[in-house]
Copies of this chain bind each other. A is one copy, B any other.
Amino acid sequence: MKSNALNFSGGPGALPATVLDETREAIVALPATGLSVLGMSHRSEWFLGILDEAERNIRELLDLPARYAISFLQGGSSLLFATIPMNFATRAFAPPEYVNSGYWSMRSSAEARRVCASRIAWDGTRTGFRELPMLDRLAVAPNAAYLHYVSNETVEGLQFALPEAKPAVPLIADMSSDFLSRPLAADRFAMIYAHAQKNLGPAGVTVALIDREMLARIPDGLPRILDLRTQIEHHSNYNTPPVFAIYVLMLVTRWLRDTIGGLAAMQRINEAKAQRLYGTLDAMRDAIKVHAASPWRSQMNAAFTFGDERLDRAFIAHAAERGIVGLEGHRSLGGLRASLYNAVTLDAVETLCDALTDFGRQHV
């Protein structure tokens, strides 16, 4: 018998059981309206309330200063990889700079190159994406349009520490896979964005936090839907938003606030999960290799391998017998990956660790 609690997928990933229960009821009839959530108008009072609460909860969880606008977008990070340079890489500034720290940041900088001149501020290609730079020590042109990085590389299992200070150039972070997994000094950033399908909800919505000071830099004449001011001005309701995905995201933020107790509490849980898993992997270091070098190991995704494709596959089968799913590594790297997003419980991690230990005893 499989269970959502044992879904270690890299995303779309596990969601909290109580959120799934509440969502299930809403499919046929929302208690508040008597109608299916799937048939609710995006102009209804009900949905305006959902948008408001989603925004308010994120603001409260992050203690986000009022100067940041929050908007809910479609198209995922992949669309923002294009729209961010379209909006902010203007002629008044030097080319934007990108940190190439793994699969996803490589995609972000490749897309930027199609839009504008850009510079690679740091490149981990040579070392196979096992390490990360210190953000605060990168040499970036003082008038660069912005510095872009991906805060957690889901494929390689690398995670940046938060920057220690607000950098001299606007800092833009794709936090798709670790947003709301830990507290965050958001005021060090010009823009933070995250698609939902890791820690926030189902695929189909992306949250963007933007310092309103940045909006003055956006050139006129962009297609309206690609101009980042548009959804801000229309409270994420310029065109029909993904109502259902935003509804579930709101429930997840409510769960973070009320059930978990906020981001400091969430961080403690995530630290315990990561320590348990990496402890198990390290104890098996003769048999298992973790991809990321130790200081940069991600709390969200552990990429590892038995160093033998047959053993990796055998472990996937072994784990599946215990109801554990989603352990296949990303197609670009192969091997195994366990994703420990917010909704994955410590109990689930214990089950995974026991499966690893047992497997090691039997097969390695």
Contact = CB atoms under 8 A, between A and B. Distances in A.
Interface of A: 1-4, 7, 9-15, 20-21, 23-25, 27-29, 33-36, 38-43, 74-79, 81-82, 86, 111, 114-115, 195, 197, 201-205, 221-226, 238-245, 248, 325-326, 331
A115 B205 CA distance: 25
A39 B114 contact: no
Choose among A39, A43, A225, A226 the residue with the greatest number of B CB atoms under 10 Å from its CB. A39
A245 B27 contact: no
Contacts of A221: 114
Contacts of A331: 43
Contact of A21 (B28, B34, B82): B28
A241 B42 CA distance: 21
12 contacts: A1-B34, A2-B33, A15-B39, A23-B38, A38-B248, A74-B79, A78-B225, A111-B225, A114-B222, A202-B242, A204-B242, A242-B245
A40 B82 CA distance: 27
A223 B114 contact: yes
Contacts of A111: 223-225
B243 A42 contact: no
Contact of A23 (B27, B242, B326): B27
Contacts of A38: 12, 15, 20, 23, 201-202, 248
